[in-house]
Amino acid sequence: MTIANIDDGEPERIPSADEVRAETEDWTRRINDLFETIRSWLPADEGYEVDLSRTVLMDERMTWSHGLPAYRLPSLGIRRAGVGLLRFVPDARWVYFTRGRIMIQGMKWPARLLDKGAAPGDVHWRLYTMWGPIGGIPFDAAALQSLLGEPR
């Protein structure tokens, strides 16, 4: 049994530049993998289209404090009949107690995905919405379908 040390002054452990670089590469890989998975979840015969033409600039405090360059990641839009429904926008790799955050735009109320995986290779995207359970739900094909059906 380990008793936690109560010390307000305990410093944050800052990853090295090499660790940040490796995490950034892993984050990019996870975003691309997730977007491929989302694409595979869309029913082929219901007229959905995927748009990966837009990018977002990633320039977080953790990267620029090491002098590492900003970089761009794709955002994933879902359209039907020429109308934009949802857009998944990578927001931050460095969020406490998570391995990254993606904002979901296009609905009436805010929603987000958090990767709750414990380590590289352990990926657990969870969906948090203002109307769903406070602890979120696993992000799977059914969760995507429910998002597509939300009012906007």
Taking alpha carbons only, the member of 102, 20, 98, 22 closest to residue 61 is: 20
Q: Which is nearer to other proteins, 42 or 56 (CB)?
A: 56
Least distance from other proteins to the Cβ atom of residue 107, Å? 10
Interacting residues with other proteins (CB under 8 A): 1-4, 6-8, 10, 12, 14, 57, 59-62, 65, 70, 91-92, 94-98, 101, 103, 109-110, 112, 114, 116, 128, 130, 134-136
- Could you say which DSSP state residue 45 is in? T
User: Rounded to whole angstroms, how far apart are CA atoms 107 and 124?
Assistant: 23
Round to whole Å and give the CA distance between 54 and 24.
19
**4: Cα within 13 Å, side-chain hemisphere:** 4
Q: From the CB of 117, what's the least distance to other proteins, in Å?
A: 13
* Shortest reach from residue 114's CB to other proteins, in Å: 6
Side by side, which strands form the sheet with 48-51? 48-51, 76-80, 83-92, 101-105, 111-115, 125-129, 137-138
- Which is nearer to other proteins, 42 or 62 (by Cβ)? 62
- Residue number with CB closer to other proteins (85 or 113): 113
Which CB sits closer to other proteins, 47 or 110?
Answer: 110
